[in-house]
Amino acid sequence: MSGPAVMALCGLLVLYVLRTITTYTRLRQFRGPTWTGISNWPHSIAMLRGNCHEWYAEVNQKYGPIARVAPRVLITSSPEVWMHVNNKPGYKRSDWYYKATRIEYRRDNVFSQTDNVKHEQRRKQMAPGYSGRENLHLEESVNERLEDFLHLIRSKYVSSDREIIPMDLATKVQYFTLDVISSVGLGKAFGMLESDQDVDNYLQSSEEGLTIGHNALALGFSWLAQAPFIGRFIAPSPKDNNGFGKMMAACFRLVDERAASSTDKRSDMLASFMRHGLAGDELRTEALEQIIAGSDTTAGAIRCILLHIMTNPRVYVKLQREVDDAVRDGLAPGPGKGFIAATQAKQLDYLQAVIREALRVWPPVANIFSRDVPPGGDTVLIDGESVFLPGGVCIGYSAYGMHLSEKTYGKDAKAFRPERWLESDPAKLAEMVRTNELTFGHGKFQCLGKPVAQIEIGKTVFEVSEVISHVAEKEFLTFGQ
């Protein structure tokens, strides 16, 4: 090797060492696992193992409410800090995380957008459609899909003394949420519940796409899909036969069909988006994102709630008693008389306690959702003590560390006990509710689909609780075990 080449390599090595030292020094006040101050690999390994949410909680428990998980990445289990980060101007979504969630080549959706001004503008265009203000048939559409869901269970999966008919409830729940979001979002259900199958392999395509994206992010290769020239050949395309590409083709076809018709005859989410200025590629991009994000997260929430009901006979009996009392007292319709209204479901205290508790002990979305600290840094409060966050770093969300906190929820925080939501004094309950609401995000970054998800969850848990009687007494499989 020639002298100039050696000198160049030595120079690069010196720059790397200096940069590593500078980065390490900037966050030296925050402790973390070995090597996290100089390497991303501990974080990458946790992501590849699929248990980074548990690792974040362990890190916070050992090193404090703000800890280090990578050279430039902090994680917090403090609800107050996370609310502050999501409320205060100057914080923005981190490019390293959110650009990796792009589905299409170099095209942002409302979730992947990291520019605060553009993000706020897009939220304003989409919020009326998600809130139901411009979709007067939102709850009616959910009821129609709920009818399909219950009909599928009752017509094909009712066991008897002579025959046990197993059912993959997790898959059926996702059929339900995909049919709901396609119905309220695109104006036409995919038809998964009707056919009892993964129509056009939507689920398979979504799972493949999410797995590829997750692994690329963990290994630090996600930027390749957005890189000039080569990115367009790596990123998903409607021409692909699998992964997100296959789902893109089907979704874009439905969007184009809907966009060609009037927005006055039927008002669904897509019609609302169009009335507020979304068209063409922007409309297709947001429709695709709502299908992928809206179905998977809500399905996860419903699954975890039903699982905890089925595996806790005491809770099931108390919930069933409240359901029966509500029907008897005219607070909810009886069998064959329609479905409970979302407003009625919110009035049932134990039902809401069960929902909150299940989402607490098993948050359906436990991603880091990293935020960049403002360039000039910021000061946050931890137990009344000021802590300075330097600019040029980012801070993320430790879902399990936050929602399983003994400080907030008591010594039995890891236990599933809905009664805690009915026993706490008003001040403590308000603190618990504020923290629990963070499962849907907060402030300018709160999930747009929260109203739709809450309607689905409340109605589904109430109605399905009638169908799953006696399941708690039988053996069943979870996670293939």
For the annotated binding site for heme, the residues are 447
In the annotated binding site, the residues are 447
Partner residues linked to 389 by β-bridges = 378
Amino acid at site 37? G
Q: Are 71 and 36 in contact (CB under 8 A)?
A: yes
Contacts of 326 (CB under 8 A, 6+ apart): 332, 340, 344, 348
Q: How far is CA 478 from the centre of its chain?
A: 20
Secondary structure (H, E, C), 60-126: HHHHCCEEEEECCEEEECCHHHHHHHHHCCCCEECHHHHHHHCCECCECCCCCCCCHHHHHHHHHHH
> Strands 92-93, 371-372: parallel, antiparallel or unpaired by DSSP?
antiparallel
CA-CA distance, 160 to 470, in Å (whole number)?
12
Amino acid at site 395? I
Token pair in block for residue 70: 């990578």
CA-CA distance, 377 to 394, in Å (whole number)?
10
CA-CA distance, 173 to 171, in Å (whole number)?
5
Q: What is the Cα gyration radius of the chain?
A: 24
Distances (CA, A) of 445 to 83, 89, 97, 123: 10, 12, 15, 9
Partner residues linked to 382 by β-bridges = 385
CA-CA distance, 270 to 186, in Å (whole number)?
6
